[in-house]
Chain A
């Protein structure tokens, strides 16, 4: 079956620290991979995505590379800010029109100044 596994949280960092949130997946075929972010009290918003192997998605200083050989899509940021505190979800879809996202359980990031 198709599934996403994320590292357990919470992750607590100081401002300007380096962030890595691990994500691995199991999928039939060739999925598209996504990172969504949920700020407190809000819905999910797309942070970045990659649709084929070796693609790198990036946005707001965050990056993730689609690694087919390790079935991974780890999220990284070189210097986190307090405003990055949120819940981060790794997700995939199988490349068929209109298919739903399969989410990981989410990783809570807390950044202190």
Chain B
């Protein structure tokens, strides 16, 4: 089992550039979550999908952030334009929904630095 796969693992970019983070969930899982982790704010949910449909995007900071899940095996989180305050570790997690008791499996994260 490959687990949740995220790419890239590290990204350094300049302010104003577009950044795309990618996630491949565990095969068979039907829920996918994007989280952001910073020292100041801890772990925050950005958005989650159930059966490829966005369920709650209230955590998305602003219009510069967008997420898509075109199929069950792939999701992207895009930041355009990026700003230094977007620097953080972005985690993708997936689970098989079974009444809310399911375990979420996390990817290794993408460490983003915006200069």
Q: Give the B-binding residues of A (Cβ under 8 A).
A: 32, 34, 36, 42-46, 49, 51, 89, 93-106
Question: From residue 22 to 80 of chain B, which have CB atoms closer than 8 A to chain A?
Answer: 30-31, 33, 42-43, 45, 48, 50, 55-56
- Indicate which residue in A43, A49, A94, A104 contacts B106 across the interface (CB closer than 8 Å): A43
A43–B48 contact, CB under 8 A? Answer: no
A100 touches B101 (CB 8 A): no
Report how far A87 CA is from B40 CA in the complex, Å.
15
Interface centre among A45, A97, A100, A104 (most CB of B within 10 A): A100
Checking B30, B43, B107, B108 against A98 with a beta-carbon cut-off of 8 angstroms, the contacting residue is B30
Total residues of chain B contacting the partner, CB 8 A: 26
Nearest Cβ on chain A to B39's Cβ, whole angstroms: 10
Identify which of B43, B97, B109 gathers the most chain A CB atoms within 10 Å of its CB: B43
Q: Tell me whether B42 and A98 are in contact (CB under 8 A).
A: no
Known: A89-B43, A103-B42, A106-B42. A97 touches B106 (CB 8 A): no
Q: For B99, what are the chain A residues with a Cβ–Cβ distance below 8 Å?
A: 95-97
Contact A96 B100 (CB under 8 A): yes
- Contact surface of B with A, Cβ cutoff 8 Å: 4, 30-31, 33, 42-43, 45, 48, 50, 55-56, 91, 93, 95, 97-101, 103-109
CB of A32 within 8 A of CB of B101, answer yes
Q: Is the CB of B50 within 8 A of A93?
A: no
Can you name 19 A-B residue pairings with CB atoms under 8 Å? Answer: A43-B91, A44-B91, A44-B93, A45-B106, A89-B43, A95-B100, A96-B100, A97-B50, A97-B97, A97-B99, A98-B31, A98-B48, A98-B55, A100-B33, A100-B45, A101-B33, A102-B45, A105-B42, A106-B42
